[in-house]
Amino acid sequence: MSFSPPPSLVVSSHTPPERVDLYLIKRGISLSRSRIQNLIEEGQILVNGRPTKASYRVREGDQIDIQIPPPAPLNLIPEEVPLDILYEDEVLLVLNKPAGMVVHPAPGHDRGTLVHALLHHCRGLPGIGGRERPGIVHRLDKETSGVMVVAKTDQAHQRLSKQFKEHTIDRRYLAIVSGKVAKKSGKIDLPIGRDRIDRKKISARTARPRESETHYVVRERFRIATLLEVYPQTGRTHQIRVHMAHLGHPVVGDKVYGGRAARMFEINVERQMLHAERLGFIHPLLGDRMLFCASMPADMQALLSALQAERRGQGASSMDGGAEGAGLRGAGG
């Protein structure tokens, strides 16, 4: 099942002059503005039988024809990679992504990605959502675990993407961060983007800042770390990791943004302690509200248990300083 736009639209009377890309969005065409603009650049959207520009202002009587080219073939070989599937129907799939799995192919990651696994599990998935990201509506960093939703049809992809774009998705992450977070809850409102100097990083030091907001609530405090519930209000790349580092409490194990905090524990921390615990959305076909949860993975639970054991051993009076517990050492934060 895929999206089929109307073969032709005619601009009605009393339509004010406006850009053709905006006009199509207002008419309810289930394509993103960027996708519409790409189709215009490719000559797939015609006005009165001729190629147009996104800036063209429609007028009464204009006939707009939309053509969706067939998906570009994927030069990827499906792989039988185990998936922890939480839910699946004919239009979507919800899974619990393990830490260490890359979502889509990239330089240095041309095998064993989530996309490779999806191509094996969901026959007919190629082309949905893009040439190299079939079905991928959103992504988690390689070392972040947790709940993801995958679209199996064009229509589901478009409707789920719209929910992410409009920030109506219910998302909750668990993060173990360095140091004791003083406030019970808080908000980080910091525009971020690609760093001007280090292009592999995201930061506030950027030429193209984008609105970025994260809320957090303290779940448990320990002597050298805090367990947070994190609620991203926007979905920027590395948003939680960058915002926590800006707060002065980077995610434990984050080797990119964590600094010394990445090595603050003597017990082995192989990756950033960040987990997408909850994901809620409106089913793109049924219209029902759906909510999925994934339990904290074993490595995060082991660290949390060690922190809890130290707290019990130290007693309430030593929580604000004092001796360090066995197996844990502080690096500040």
Question: Among all residues, which ones are annotated catalytic?
Answer: 141
Residue 49, number of CB atoms within 10 A of its CB: 7
Which residue in 240, 273, 237 sits closest to 255, CA to CA?
273
Report the alpha-carbon distance of residue 5 to residue 262 in Å, rounded: 49
| The amino acid at 208 | R
List alpha helices for 104-153, DSSP H.
114-121
| Six token digits for residue 208 | 């193209």
List alpha helices for the chain, DSSP H.
20-26, 33-41, 114-121, 154-165, 239-247, 298-314
Q: 320-323 long-range contacts, Cβ below 8 Å, gap at least 24?
A: 320/180, 320/223, 321/223, 322/223
